[in-house]
Amino acid sequence: MRQSASERSLREELADLGQIDGYDQWEALIHDSSSPKKSMLQNLDQVPGTSAFRLGDLKLVNGSEKDNFNF
């Protein structure tokens, strides 16, 4: 597969960041496959004190609709 100039540029910029904590999602995105990442912080709002965290198929929600929180 040919690599676009913008993709090469992005990869070069990311390489300049050095070692960072994270997951490379590129293969999952271009091949429409499962992500290596199994958890995600979806929302964190300190003012009303609401948050949402997903782990696999489970979601932990802290807050309520009265807080205008509809995750």
Task: Report pLDDT for 55.
Answer: 92
Task: Report pLDDT for 5.
Answer: 67
More confident residue, 50 or 6: 50
Please determine, for residue 49, whether its predicted confidence score (pLDDT) is greater than 70.
Answer: yes
Q: What is the 3-state secondary structure (H, E, C) of the chain?
A: CCCCHHHHHHHHHHHCCCCCCCCCCHHHHHCCCCCCCCEEEEEEECCCCEEEEEECCEEEEECCHHHCCCC
pLDDT single digits (tens) 2-36: 666 677 787 788 777 777 767 788 888 899 898 88
In this prediction the pTM is 0.49
